Chains A and B, each alone.
Chain A
Amino acid sequence: MFFVTYLRRELRRRMRQAVLIALGLALGVGMVVTVAAASAGVRKAQSGVLSTLYGVGTDVTVTGPAEAPPAPGTQSPKNGQTLQIGPRGPEICTNGKCVSAAGHTVDQLFPPLIEPIRASKVAAVARLHDVAAAAGAIALTDNSLTIPKNSGAPQGNSDSFTVDAVDTAHTALGPMAAATITSGHSFTAADADADVAVVDSGYAISSGMKTGSAITIRQVRFTVIGIATQPQGTSPPDVYIPLARGQAIASATKAGGSLAGDVTLIYVAAASAADVPMVQHEISRLLPGDTVSAASSLASEVTGSLADAAKLANDLGKWVSVLALIAAFAIASLLTMAAVARRSAEFGTLKSLGWRTQRIIAQVLGESVAVGIAGAAAGVGLGFAGAAIIAKVAPTLSAAVASQDSGLPQTTRNAADVPYHAVLVPLSPSITIGVIELAVILALAGGLLAGALGAWRIARLQPADALAAVA
């Protein structure tokens, strides 16, 4: 109790200096907390944007290598259907046999120009060490064209929408992971082979669809069982159907071919964030010809003011807060050492009374730690205030993200050909418990450093010299 009494009285006597030191520490710590909160907000925004690229909970995506488009004159695959203009007008040709297209609807359902991956590989990936789950999917585009009966050239009605064929047993992984079902219900495992569909809310509104409506995909009638809404800023497909149905009705290319037993994407969840690099490596060994992408490689694809803000927070923000901390520590240390120098006679007296050096040092350290605690509390408060100010005044950030029409991660596409769209992302700085703990530790460290330097001075103090300063 004597320790506390002496400490309290001493801090009260040097209140102005104690406040100055605490304020310096608070400013340094407050800067760290504010920058950390802004960085956390930017990271959250980034992860929100990134998660739209391949789904919440997905750590790694796998796609096949890009396929070269077929050379002109290449024979269509067996049962492949093509639309061409013949001498008698538009013709539909199948296996080399052509008929007039008048009055017909050409409905093509095909993936982007990449090599498919055998579905059996999905199970092989799922069995890898450190893989929590794996799910296959096919990103498709449905193009339909209805040729009028009386015409010389195809000027009929056309329609195009995007379709994702998803693994109904793993909807928590992949394109439906972040979706909220706003009407009806999502797929169940029992729907694996059913002609059922979930429609995106935006497409449902534009098409006048609701739960129970019908949608024709590749001339197959699907019943809409649910309406899904994806988070703002995403570019979801228009329709989701079960993977097995997509494999059955889609063709491998526009010209034909089969996707039976194939997928075009594998979504992988790692057991933990730390396992992602190893998982990426293992999948690359298992599927050497395929493209294996993780969030870190996709993050660099996101441009716009969000990316700039991330850079600002990580680079400039980090260094500014480091400098502020160094300045705060330096001020605290210098003021503490000056105070110790002014109290030389007092410490010399205590030594003459038989106080051990360690006891005197403990007293000075206690004073410094008390000031550090005050600095920590004030610093956290300043940090919250700084984060609130940033949330209020910071402009909405934008991220340029590749459109999801092909459902492919950007790394598999030719960048020049990829259409980008801007996603507006509000910046919400967030202060976590970890940041508060860091702030407290930093302030205490500053106080301890200042106290340690003062203690070093005390340890070197000879009683006779200290007392001579008074005489």
Chain B
Amino acid sequence: MYTLTGVTKLYYEGRQTVLAVTGVDLVIGDGEWLAIQGRTGGGKTTLLNLLGGLDRPTSGSIELDGTSLGTLPETRLTALRAQSIGVIFQTFNLIPTLSAAENVETALIPMRASQVARRAWTTAALDAVGLVDRANHLPCELSGGQQQRAAIARALVKNPKVVLADEPTGNLDEDTREDIIGLLERLWRERGLTLVLVTHDTAIARRAQRVGVMSKGRLTITKDTEHPPAG
């Protein structure tokens, strides 16, 4: 799925240069669940943005199924995001003026599907996350957990190859956190998704197949259930 080679990302803030990601080499296989932990400012979200084509590396290469994200023209990168990459945000990022169903539908607009098809896929996605009965509610009428379910439905409605989740439970209480992670895990298994999840929560991270730690821009794999350490 993903092959990262020597990926580095620099930001320039005034006179300061911030090394957000430095020299990351990483391979993420199809259907794998990789959790990335680390302190705030360690480069987790930056790495996720690079994987999602939301940002471009300063140096190094990121390939998704052989396509280099760093050199792809913007229009093709946008099309790739539309078809193959689902994103889940910590703050849900739902459009406040659209209902849950309409928010899910926003992910299908770039697909240029008919309205009938969009509505059908939307209903199926909401059903998968258990939110059909709240389909016509605005985000302000939904609880935090319900909003995140709607965001998960939005990420999955287009059957993406990969789902990138940035602290999906960061704004939720403990019980809801468990529900959401349980939901993500179920969908990961059922659909064979490639899931890259950023989290502070060690308990959540341990549920993944592989765990990496970002610290000062460097990624270290600390747990690899597919490739356990020798001995």
Contact = CB atoms under 8 A, between A and B. Distances in A.
Nearest to A13: B97
A352 B75 contact: no
A354 B157 CA distance: 13
Given A9-B98, A353-B107, A359-B110, A471 B91 contact: yes
Interface in B103-134: 105-107, 109-110, 115
B159 interface: no
- From A1, A5, A13, A463, residue with most partner B Cβ within 10 Å: A463
A401 B181 CA distance: 91
The 6 tightest CB contacts between A and B, nearest first, are: A354-B82, A9-B97, A464-B55, A354-B110, A463-B54, A349-B93
Interface in B44-92: 45-46, 49, 52, 54-55, 74-75, 78-83, 85, 87, 89-91
Contact of A467 (B74, B83, B93, B95): B93
* Size band of the interface chain B makes with A: 20 to 34
Contacts of B80: 354
Interface of B: 45-46, 49, 52, 54-55, 74-75, 78-83, 85, 87, 89-91, 93, 95-98, 102, 105-107, 109-110, 115, 154
B93 A1 contact: no
A340 to B, nearest CB: 15
Given A12-B97, A471-B45, A1 B115 contact: yes
A40 interface: no
Contacts, number: 82
A353 B87 contact: yes
B109 A13 contact: no
* Size band of the interface chain A makes with B: 20 to 34
A16 to B, nearest CB: 15
Given A464-B54, A464-B55, A10 B97 contact: yes
Interface of A: 1-2, 5-6, 9-10, 12-13, 345-346, 349-357, 359, 462-464, 467-468, 470-471
9 contacts: A12-B97, A13-B96, A346-B96, A353-B81, A353-B106, A354-B78, A462-B55, A464-B49, A471-B45
Contacts of A353: 81-82, 87, 106-107, 109-110, 154
B165 to A, nearest CB: 12
B95 A349 contact: yes
Contacts of B115: 1-2
